[in-house]
């Protein structure tokens, strides 16, 4: 009996690069009301302080999620985390963010922060589960 052929393969996570901008824009547009464009992702991913990761179902398949941060150690700002609606509810967001944060720690990041719409309850649950706490609110920001 081949035990390994029956086990589901874990998702594949790799570093995001500027050449991935089209994929990131596609995922972002599917995940948010106001998606960022390809040009915005190309600009962000070309910055020295940008760090990003893509989540794919398997190597050499289109990404189904991504996370992007701006890093100035010892701090990082999570700029965006998105998973395609068709892939939600499977723990991919938590897996992706956990992987990303572990990589950032290896680069000297000790603190990370982010902003999230208060109506985005799934994101708020995820961030709370990973230990994030609310530190403030911006009136009329979103």
User: Per-residue pLDDT tens for 68-121?
Assistant: 999 999 999 999 999 999 999 999 999 999 999 999 999 999 999 999 998 899
- pLDDT at residue 124, as a whole number: 93
The CA dihedral of 7, 10, 105, 43, to the nearest 10 degrees, is: 170
- pLDDT at residue 5, as a whole number: 58
Is residue 135 in a domain?
no
- pLDDT at residue 2, as a whole number: 53
Backbone conformation region of residue 68, classed left if phi is above 0, alpha if psi is from -120 to 50, else beta: beta
The domain spanning residue 88 has which CATH number? 3.40.630.30
Position 4 confidence tier, pLDDT thresholds 50, 70, 90: low
Helix axes 21-31, 38-46, angle to 10 degrees: 120
Query: Cα separation of 44 and 21, whole Å?
Result: 9
Catalytic residue positions, numbered: 115, 127
Position 3 confidence tier, pLDDT thresholds 50, 70, 90: low
Is residue 136 in a domain?
no
- Domain of residue 77: give its range: 3-129
Kindly report, residue by residue over 27-79, the tens digit of the pLDDT. 999 999 988 999 999 999 999 999 999 999 999 999 999 999 999 999 999 99
Q: Where are the beta strands (DSSP E) in the chain?
A: 12-15, 50-56, 63-72, 75-83, 111-114
Is residue 140 in a domain?
no
Give the three-class secondary structure for 2.
Answer: coil
Is residue 134 in a domain?
no
Is residue 39 in a domain?
yes
Is residue 123 in a domain?
yes
Is residue 142 in a domain?
no
Is residue 137 in a domain?
no
Residue 10 has pLDDT above 80, yes or no: no
Domain count, the chain: 1
List residues bridging with 44 in a β-sheet. none
75-83 and 63-72 strand pairing: antiparallel
């Amino acid at each position: 009996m081949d035990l390994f052929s029956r086990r589901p393969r874990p998702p594949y996570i790799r570093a995001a690069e500027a050449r991935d901008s089209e994929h990131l824009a596609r995922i972002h547009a599917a995940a948010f009301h106001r998606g960022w464009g390809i040009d915005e992702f190309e600009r962000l991913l070309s910055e020295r302080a940008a760090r990003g990761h893509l989540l794919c179902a398997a190597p050499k398949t289109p990404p189904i999620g991504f996370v992007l941060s701006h890093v100035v150690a010892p701090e990082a700002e999570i700029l965006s985390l998105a998973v395609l609606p068709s892939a939600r509810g499977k723990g991919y967001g938590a897996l992706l963010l956990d992987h990303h944060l572990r990589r950032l720690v290896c680069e000297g990041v000790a603190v990370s922060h982010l902003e999230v719409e208060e109506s985005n309850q799934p994101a708020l649950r995820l961030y709370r589960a990973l230990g994030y706490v609310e530190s403030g609110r911006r009136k009329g920001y979103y």
